[in-house]
Structure 1
Amino acid sequence: MDDLASFLRTRRSRVDPAAAGIPTDSRRRVAGLRREEVAHLSGVSVDYYVRLEQGRATQPSDQVLDALARVLRLDDTERGHLFRLACQRRRRAKAPGRRVRPELLRVLDLVPDAPALIMNHRLDVLAGNRLAGLLFGRPIPGLNTARHLFLEEDERGLYADWEQCTLDVVGHLRLAAGHYPDDRRLAALIGELAMGSDRFRRLWARADVRARTHGRKAYRHPLVGLLELHQENFALPDESGMEMVVLSATPGTPAWDGLRLLAGLGTEERQPAPSDGQTAEYRA
């Protein structure tokens, strides 16, 4: 229950006591709420809440979790994460192990005007269309966007909003770790990122969770310049943990023209579509 304990501590430290109806003065030295204040506002004993934060209490009830989510002012994503962490010992989800279906590869090829990718919960890019390969400037199979973002210094300039992207990626990996606590490959990735990046270590310690399903994504491509794209994430409906990510541009905008230019520049260097052999070694 260490993940649950850490999550509770970080969220407790962020609640404004005044917003929770607790008088404060200049002598207060605690950031956020005290443990006994959370216990009182949640209707649980101080001893029980202390044991939760120490990882010594197991299987808190849904009623207790609901109360804690309310007191700690969790949003929907954080609330879901709290419940998953609390239920890890009762119901541990196995990491998905499915290959990318050939039908999905055909779907990628039906999106010719936008970079389109299929990613798993570890942010491994399992497949992508031709424009996705041109955007990243490298073969798609084998790319992990978390490593690309944090560990490959030469590639950092591709991300116009690098700091925001790091927040999104760490928040996503926190959610994934809550979904799949027994995924050794995910744990190894998190350890690799923590060893190689000071920023990753700092952000991971905050225990933030994020579920970004759409929004602006900007890239500075070395050949065509700034591309301000719109990202849509489509969770695949087979419980594989995979998502299809499409990065589109509004027709008539500079980003639209940039994608057309990028597609034209890559005409003579078309990357072959991922073969069964390429995708088979990358499991979701």
Structure 2
Amino acid sequence: MSSKSAPPPLPEPLGVAVADSHTHLDLQDGTVEEALARAAAVGVTTVVQVGCDVKGSRWAAETAAAHPQVHAAVALHPNEAPRLVLGDPGTEPSGPGRVRPGREAGGDAALDDALAEIDRLAALDEVRAVGETGLDYFRTGPGGIAAQERSFRAHIEIAKRRGKALVIHDREAHSDVLRILAEEGAPERTVFHCFSGDADMARACAAEGYFLSFAGNVTFKNAQPLRDALAAAPAELVLVETDAPFLTPVPYRGRPNAPYLIPVTLRAMAAVKGLDEDAMAAAVAANTARAFDY
């Protein structure tokens, strides 16, 4: 195995335990038990496993039911909604919830059926959130926007009715995501996963009480706008995540990500916030428990 494809080494353990607020264990190598053991060894004692389609959401709920340190989030990824309705709206097949070219369109009924299953799963105790949902204008073209928006609004309604947190995927769609949240009325607990806005957007989200979750890309050399956003975000609204196996933090960028690498990102975040590591970890731990109500 080359060094570029090998898993990074375990970082120094954190002194205060934290949670990975957003991960995809089903897309990572190895078993769930192995991933959780490595994470726990470095002070990452809780993970939120996020579903991106019906199958993945069922798996998330089953995994959370089997492991007390796992909480589930269930949803149709923004790129999944147009796939169900349109088949292939010209979306690049890459990343969670990727559209799979060549699939036949199912129409509105297919989306409705999938949303009904997400609603059923959202009622389960082990499911702490509805997400990741939102808008993605990077991989879905104009033809898929209507399906994305309908799905997003439906997920907001499910989260509110079921009393669960809402986990937002927002890629190149900041103003429309904020507009729809305002129009529908955001749930009491709303999390912007892999926050991608600038400092002004961070302040706008904070004004609404939304949580901002930062991933390994906050460590990237070209990510100064993200660091500015983190600096502007109130410490009581900040979360940390891996989005593993994606967005591995520097100095391991390009290698497989996993929940045990949370300490690398958290230490970089602490430096940006001007906090010591334990204070940053304690804030993140409390925020995550509050956001996901566990």
Q: What TM-score, normalized to structure 2?
A: 0.27
Q: What TM-score, normalized to structure 1?
A: 0.27
